[in-house]
Structure 1
């Protein structure tokens, strides 16, 4: 009887260990980016993102960004390049979670950009965890722009990934912009 109980307990522990290993393997697989055919990958220690081969990557840190990905110039009169950029903010000591960061960001966006309209503001989830998606319109200098922005707060850091397009080009670039945004993986 004792032997049967020991065998049952050992089998239960082994089963739990296998289930845990399978869950960990599945979680890691979710974090691995699925390679998009014909696209380039910016693969860094803490993140990866994919983008079309005719777009340009810039990691010079312009305007405090971690990187910028820029669409090709289409003509001599094309003076705005649709783009995707990442801003990482250190939130250490500021006690922000995603909800409080979203509240803070909404106020900051409205004050700094003079947002004309906020067309989407919703909570979503992907392999990186819960994130907030904003879509809003604002004018900057002579440009009428649409911003599609994903925000995560993880381990005292805010990750703000933004696709920016001229308003009259948004529908044309939206699909590729969202594909780039959705290829972003935090490691």
Structure 2
């Protein structure tokens, strides 16, 4: 019985190690993040504060014309001393005022790479049946607010959140 359990455990460990082997790393001066080989890092920056955009495999848009993605925005707080909770409240107030039909699903304290952070999940109907769901990790470090966002259609969120979480959880800030 011990041999079967040990063999099974070794299979799980080797599978987990192999699954991470084919990942790429996007490294910058003050952060790094890992993502699967079949995702791409795009130079598209729809906002000036966006640092990167990671796009899922093109196949992800076959059903709904939306490509699941992860991006990072960094906001210089310009000397303001805000706690993560205060920054999250401001962010959520902006979401609900700019997108009145948005729904905040959860707002919880977490740690990411040893930093205190908040994880917020919310959704909104953007018209034409396009309901998007977001998982955002927000944290404050060295006078900057970091907002790491996973975006998906609500209908495919459960299908992509496992890989989305692995990518989000690989995020590291330079210390």
Unaligned runs of 5+ in 2: 1-18
Residue 46 of structure 2 is aligned to residue 62 of structure 1: yes
Q: What TM-score does the superposition give when structure 2 sets the normalisation length? A: 0.81
Equivalents in 1 of 2:144, 2:107: separation in Å? 20
Equivalents in 2 of 1:51, 1:94: separation in Å? 32
SS of aligned partner of 1:114? coil
Q: What TM-score does the superposition give when structure 1 sets the normalisation length? A: 0.76
Residue 169 of structure 2 is aligned to residue 185 of structure 1: no
Instruction: Quote how far apart the aligned CAs of 1:76 are.
Output: 5.3
Residue 86 of structure 2 is aligned to residue 100 of structure 1: yes
The answer for the alignment partner of 2:102 in structure 1 is 116
Note if contact 1:36-1:50 (Cα within 8 Å) is conserved in structure 2: no
SS of aligned partner of 1:175? helix
Number of residues paired by the alignment? 153
Equivalents in 1 of 2:31, 2:74: separation in Å? 11
Instruction: Quote how far apart the aligned CAs of 1:112 are.
Output: 2.0
Equivalents in 2 of 1:80, 1:102: separation in Å? 26
Residue 144 of structure 2 is aligned to residue 161 of structure 1: no
The answer for the alignment partner of 2:132 in structure 1 is 145
The answer for the alignment partner of 1:51 in structure 2 is 35
In the TM superposition, structure 1's runs of 4+ consecutive aligned residues that sit over 3 Å from their partners are 75-78
CA offsets, 1:96-141, max 9 Å, x none?
Answer: 2212111111101111233532111011113240000000111224
Equivalents in 1 of 2:105, 2:163: separation in Å? 19
Equivalents in 2 of 1:181, 1:43: separation in Å? 14
Q: CA RMSD in A?
A: 1.8
